[in-house]
Amino acid sequence: MPGRHSRRSVLAAMAAVPLTGAVSACSGGDGASSARTGTTTRVTFWSALRGSQEVVDAFNRTHRTVQVDFQQIPSGGQGGYAKLSNAARAGNAPDIATLEYPQVPGFAIDGVARDLTDLVSDGLRRRLLPQALGLTTFERRVFAVPLDVEPMVMHYRADLFGHYGLRPARTWDEFAEQAARVHREAPDRRLVLFPTDGMTQFACYAWQAGAQWFDTSKGAWNVSLADAPSRRVADYWQRLIDRDDVFMNAVESRQADAQIGNGLVLTRLSGAWDAGAQMNARPGQKGQWRIAPLPQWDTGSPSVGTHGGSTFAVTEDSEHPEAAMEFIEWQVSHPDALRARLSSGASSQYPAAPGLVPVGSEAFDRSYYGGQDIYALFDREAQKIGEQWLWGPRMSATQKVMQDSFARVGGGQGSLVESLRAAQEGTMPDLRALGLSTTQHST
Amino acid sequence: MNTTTTTHTRVPAGTPRAASPAPSASGLRARRAARRRQLTAAGVLMTPFFALLVTVFLIPVGTAVYLSFFSDDQPGLGFGPERQVFVGLRSYAAVLTDPTFLGGLGTVALYCLIYLPLMVLGALALALLLDSGVVRLRALAQLGLFLPHAVPGIIAALIWLYLYTPGISPVIELFAKGDITVDFLGVHTVVPSIVNIALWSNLGYNMVVFYAALQAVPREVIEASVVDGAGPVRTALQVKTPLVRASIVMVSIFTLIWALQLFTEPMLLSQSSPMISSRFSPSMYIYDAAFTRNNYGLAAAASVVLLVCTIALSYGVTRFTGRADSEEVR
């Protein structure tokens, strides 16, 4: 049985799973007719995002032809992505899945995410930030619809900044000076943490500096994780690490929680979403934090990368792609969807449809940030998102290799530039074994 | 496997020859019937073995080999329709040029170099000590040494994870009181730390194997050596040890095969040590390739490479010791 599902079927047969996947093995964008008049089409939706249940409830209350069955799954790193690819292999994937941006190309190549080009209406296309849609579009085909896009910003402790007489740095040089100063004046405090589990943060720094880790413009995957802008960023952070001017440990750890909770670290460099996450995690620090734009390399032509953000994909196996798309469109662009999501707790996500910003801004309690209009700031920063960036076909693997190497740098072995090279070398065999055309030109 | 087959075929072959030399028609028929019954019995008795051999060994190996040579390819960037193609040695080339896989092989080689001699010599030394009779409370000592083997690998790794993790480990705390800083999960200590877990788990088991072999050594031989004036050390090293050579070879091969498949301990320790990467050993590489990278061609090729290495090394050990044996006989 040659074709799309052959490997999937072999594995499914081995696992003695009924071959339902092979039955629905039609490919292409002409999905099974869904909107049967007079009946209700049911679609299934998997997500790890907070507030998804509320969104689904709101949708089901207001819609009659399409009803959504929601299932909360673990987040990607906790097994959510493995669950999705296993389900797709066994032929029982949901109609709609949630993917973070770095995962989109991989799931598209594996034939899990469906080509949505013909299903995305022009109206929806116009409402989405072009940089966000650009991250889910390959060979001019759209494989997922962005929900939020998160420009990286600098969250800082206004009280401690005042204490040490600091102002938010406008350039990275200034930022490095401040790091040295904080280290000198308060030996147990640091300006910032370099996360050893932070490929996504590092990618965002490199993105801002103009790096292009993956490029498909020449019809092949060009991989250059250690291009000139990335090396510049790596050297910059290496200096800070060598001088012990920054903390170096995992950010997803109790240690990092303690560093933030005890006021040992003065800034957090992360996506816009982290403002809401901080409010939920540490209500006691109310009023101490403010948010500023990320420092720049060149203040003349400012740029930022994104850190975080999610998209929705319709799976190849879905029998009701139109119905699935109706729910997705509502979810990413209707004010009621955002209101429902925000009802589950504080959230500061920056919607990929900027038309929804007033809804988010209105619902957001500004008192935690001393009355600062953070959405106005996010709005300005989102416009600066660099357009050159693409994620690669196997980002989880690239991420693991890079972070394993970062961790060794934290243990005093190797350097950040070597980590980039290790990630490059650990990524190429994967892409080659998948049969993709690859090149390794670098600047 | 070979021994089972030969004994089963030899028995029916011998019986007809014992019957009358001038076969009558009915005798022939009876003999055929007897032979058929025996073949049926042999077939019934061997079926479970072959059924399991086929389902849990030959089919998976065949599938792995197949997956390593064929792939559902999409040309170019990979977003086009898939088509199944024969990819030749592409997956093997990818595996063998992957520095993370080669690094894993290097790690396992280092692990074997430390683990194998320690395990075989350690278990043998303990067995010789127990056999020599200098040990009091022999049964208790045996039980104490064997007990860790009854602990599943994953539990063992958890116990040691507790002892290795800074902040909760009483051992590290004890060292700290003496002003000694130890990091069991550091860059250079992580492989010895894993070796330690494996030794703790398996030393007792292999000691029992050696001890059982030593029990079979004829007492006259030992007495003869004592009469000839050999001390206990000399008896142990030059009389007993050569006589349990077959067990040493067997334990070496099993330990080697077990060590090459290193997985559980580093997998669990990787949770708390960044020094253990997701592709630390070849087995972890295979797991990672299949389940986080969804790259079955790569995982299959890596599995076949590991299988070939294991077979080659086992064969090498057998061959090497076999030659040494035959030279000794001469």
Taking only residues 167 to 206 of chain A, the set having a beta carbon closer than 8 angstroms to any beta carbon of chain B reads: 196
B73–A435 C-beta distance less than 8 A: yes
Q: Nearest CA to CA, how far is A124 from chain B (Å)?
A: 23
- pLDDT above 70: percentage of residues in chain A: 91
**pLDDT tens across B58-77, in order?**
999 999 999 999 988 877 88
Sign of CA dihedral B94, B97, B103, B106: positive
Range of the domain at A205: 152-306+387-439
Identify whether the C-beta of residue B108 lies closer than 8 Å to the C-beta of residue B124.
no
Residue A68, domain member (yes or no): yes
**pLDDT tens across B134-184, in order?**
767 788 888 888 888 888 888 888 889 889 888 788 888 888 888 888 888
C-alpha span between A220 and B76 (Å, rounded): 6
A413–B186 C-beta distance less than 8 A: no
Residue A408, domain member (yes or no): yes
For residue A122 the two structure tokens come to 């022009």
* A116 & A235 share domain: no
Residue A24, domain member (yes or no): no
Q: Which of A348, A367, A398 is the last residue of a domain?
A: A348
* B194 & B228 share domain: yes
Q: Mean pLDDT, to the nearest integer, of A313-320?
A: 95
Identify whether the C-beta of residue A252 lies closer than 8 Å to the C-beta of residue A330.
no
C-alpha span between A339 and A334 (Å, rounded): 9
* A277 & A415 share domain: yes
**What does residue A439 show for φ and ψ, rounded to 5 degrees?**
-135, 165
Name which residue leads in pLDDT, A4 or A68. Answer: A68
C-alpha span between B66 and A147 (Å, rounded): 41
* B226 & B287 share domain: yes
> Which CATH number is B224's domain given?
1.10.3720.10
**pLDDT band at residue A350 under the 50/70/90 scheme:** very high
Question: How far lies B272's CA from each of A407, A414, B107, B265, B269, in Å?
Answer: 12, 20, 19, 12, 6
B255 has pLDDT over 50: yes
**pLDDT tens across B73-102, in order?**
877 888 877 788 898 899 999 999 999 999
Enumerate the residues of chain B whose CB falls inside 8 A of the CB of residue A437. 75-77
* B234 & B280 share domain: yes
Residues 6+ apart with CB under 8 A from A218: A439
C-alpha span between A344 and A47 (Å, rounded): 15
* A275 & A324 share domain: no
* B69 & B166 share domain: no
- pLDDT above 90: percentage of residues in chain B: 43
In the chain, the amino acid numbered A285 is Q
Q: Nearest CA to CA, how far is B93 from chain A (Å)?
A: 8
- C-alpha dihedral, A371 to A374 to A375 to A377, nearest 10°: 130
| Cα nearest neighbour of A105 on chain B | B79
C-alpha span between A157 and A282 (Å, rounded): 13
* A244 & A115 share domain: no
CB atoms within 10 A of CB A85: 19
Residue B49, domain member (yes or no): yes
C-alpha span between B93 and A241 (Å, rounded): 37
Residues 6+ apart with CB under 8 A from B65: B300, B304
Q: Which of B86, B107, B129 is the last residue of a domain?
A: B86
Q: Look at chain B and report how many structural domains it folds into.
A: 2
Interface contacts (A, B; CB < 8 Å)? 133
Q: Which helix (H) or strand (E) holds B86?
A: strand B83-86
pLDDT of residue A12: 37
* A314 & A301 share domain: no
Residue B165, domain member (yes or no): yes
For testing the chain B interface, which of A99, A434, A436, A439 should be mutated: the one with the most B CBs within 10 Å?
A: A434
* A233 & A331 share domain: no
Q: Nearest CA to CA, how far is A196 from chain B (Å)?
A: 9
Taking only residues 404 to 423 of chain A, the set having a beta carbon closer than 8 angstroms to any beta carbon of chain B reads: 404, 407-408, 410-413, 422
Q: Which helix (H) or strand (E) holds B15?
A: helix B2-18
Q: Which of B86, B120, B143 is the last residue of a domain?
A: B86
| Cα nearest neighbour of B55 on chain A | A14
Which DSSP symbol is given to B256? H
CA atoms within 13 Å, Cβ hemisphere of A360: 28
Q: Which residues of A150-188 are buried (b: 16+ CB within 10 A; e: fewer)?
A: bbbbbbbbbebbeeeebebbeebeebbebbeebbeeeee
Q: Which residues of B35-59 are buried (b: 16+ CB within 10 A; e: fewer)?
A: eeebeeebeeeeeeeeeeeeeeeee
pLDDT of residue A14: 38
Identify whether the C-beta of residue B270 lies closer than 8 Å to the C-beta of residue B278.
yes
* A294 & A426 share domain: yes
Q: Nearest CA to CA, how far is B65 from chain A (Å)?
A: 14
A246 has pLDDT over 60: yes
B296–A396 C-beta distance less than 8 A: no
B278–A426 C-beta distance less than 8 A: no
C-alpha span between B168 and B190 (Å, rounded): 18
C-alpha span between A152 and A270 (Å, rounded): 5
Q: Has the ipTM of the complex gone over 0.90? A: no
Q: Nearest CA to CA, how far is B197 from chain A (Å)?
A: 23
Question: How far lies B154's CA from each of B148, B166, B207, in Å?
Answer: 12, 20, 22
pLDDT of residue B326: 62
For residue B141 the two structure tokens come to 């000592």
Is B90 at the interface with chain A, CB within 8 A?
Answer: yes
CA angle (A391 as vertex; A108, A147 as ends), nearest 5: 70
* A171 & A197 share domain: yes
* B179 & B130 share domain: yes
* A81 & A101 share domain: yes
Q: Look at chain A and report how many structural domains it folds into.
A: 2
Identify whether the C-beta of residue A228 lies closer than 8 Å to the C-beta of residue A335.
no
Say which of B95, B274, B301 has its CB closest to residue A411.
B274
C-alpha span between A299 and A287 (Å, rounded): 29
A154: β partners = A269, A292
Residue B91, domain member (yes or no): no
Is A393 at the interface with chain B, CB within 8 A?
Answer: yes
**pLDDT tens across B187-208, in order?**
788 999 999 999 999 999 999 9
Range of the domain at B302: 98-329
B242 has pLDDT over 60: yes
Question: Which among A309, A282, A280, A286 is positioned nearest to A378, based on CA atoms?
Answer: A309
Question: 3-state SS of chain A?
Answer: CCCCCHHHHHHHHHCCCCCHHHHCCCCCCCCCCCCCCCCCEEEEEEECCCCHHHHHHHHHHHCCCEEEEEEECCCHHHCHHHHHHHHHHHCCCCCEEEEEHHHHHHHHHCCCECCCCCCCCHHHHHHCCHHHHHCCEECCEECCEECECCEEEEEEEHHHHHHCCCCCCCEHHHHHHHHHHHHHHCCCCECCEEECCCHHHHHHHHHHCCCCCEECCCCCEEECCCCHHHHHHHHHHHHHHHCCCCEEECCCCHHHHHHHHCCCECEEEEECCHHHHHHHHCHHHCCCEEEEECCECCCCCCCECECCCEEEEEECCCCCHHHHHHHHHHHHHCHHHHHHHHCCCCCCCCECCHHHHHHHHHHCCHHHHCCCCHHHHHHHHHHCECCCCCCCCCHHHHHHHHHHHHHHHHCCCCCHHHHHHHHHHHHHHHHHHCCCCEECCCC
A435–B98 C-beta distance less than 8 A: no
A18 has pLDDT over 60: no
Taking only residues 5 to 64 of chain A, the set having a beta carbon closer than 8 angstroms to any beta carbon of chain B reads: 6-7, 10-11, 14, 27
Beta strands A438-439; A221-223: pairing state: parallel
**pLDDT tens across A264-301, in order?**
999 999 999 999 999 999 999 999 999 999 999 999 99
C-alpha span between A389 and A131 (Å, rounded): 9
Is B78 at the interface with chain A, CB within 8 A?
Answer: yes
pLDDT of residue B179: 85
| Cα nearest neighbour of B280 on chain A | A404
pLDDT of residue B17: 47
* B122 & B64 share domain: no
pLDDT of residue B151: 86
pTM score: 0.82
* B27 & B110 share domain: no
Q: Mean pLDDT, to the nearest integer, of B43-67?
A: 93
For testing the chain A interface, which of B63, B294, B298, B304 should be mutated: the one with the most A CBs within 10 Å?
A: B294
Question: How far lies A50's CA from each of A36, A55, A70, A87, A278, in Å?
Answer: 32, 10, 12, 22, 15
Q: Which of A319, A348, A377 is the last residue of a domain?
A: A348
Q: Which helix (H) or strand (E) holds B85?
A: strand B83-86
Say which residue the tokens 């490199």 belong to: A206
Q: Which of B51, B86, B121 is the last residue of a domain?
A: B86
* B164 & B239 share domain: yes
Residue B92, domain member (yes or no): no
B77–A139 C-beta distance less than 8 A: yes
Enumerate the residues of chain A whose CB falls inside 8 A of the CB of residue B93. 432
pLDDT of residue A288: 96
**Would you call B190 helix, strand, or coil by DSSP?**
helix
Q: Mean pLDDT, to the nearest integer, of A367-371?
A: 94
**Would you call B240 helix, strand, or coil by DSSP?**
helix
* B161 & B17 share domain: no
* A316 & A337 share domain: yes
Residue A31, domain member (yes or no): no
Residue A132, domain member (yes or no): yes
C-alpha span between A271 and A281 (Å, rounded): 16
Residue B42, domain member (yes or no): yes
Which DSSP symbol is given to B238? I
Say which of B63, B76, B90 has its CB closest to residue A433.
B90
Taking only residues 134 to 173 of chain A, the set having a beta carbon closer than 8 angstroms to any beta carbon of chain B reads: 138-139, 141, 143
Is A343 at the interface with chain B, CB within 8 A?
Answer: no
**Would you call B229 helix, strand, or coil by DSSP?**
coil
Enumerate the residues of chain B whose CB falls inside 8 A of the CB of residue A401. 100, 277-279
- Maximum C-alpha span of chain A: 72
* A122 & A64 share domain: yes
Say which of B79, B83, B91 has its CB closest to residue A2.
B83
A137: β partners = A142
Residue A20, domain member (yes or no): no
Identify whether the C-beta of residue B213 lies closer than 8 Å to the C-beta of residue B246.
yes
**pLDDT tens across A127-152, in order?**
999 999 999 999 999 999 999 999 99
* A163 & A204 share domain: yes
Identify whether the C-beta of residue B71 lies closer than 8 Å to the C-beta of residue A435.
yes
Q: Which of A348, A368, A403 is the last residue of a domain?
A: A348
**Would you call B83 helix, strand, or coil by DSSP?**
strand
Residue A2, domain member (yes or no): no
C-alpha span between A353 and A350 (Å, rounded): 8
Please state, rounded to an integer, the average pLDDT across all residues of chain A. Answer: 89
pLDDT of residue B5: 40
Residue A70, domain member (yes or no): yes
Enumerate the residues of chain B whose CB falls inside 8 A of the CB of residue A109. 74, 77-79
Angle between helix B296-329 and helix B59-69 axes, rounded to 10 deg: 120
pLDDT of residue B297: 92
> Which CATH number is A243's domain given?
3.40.190.10
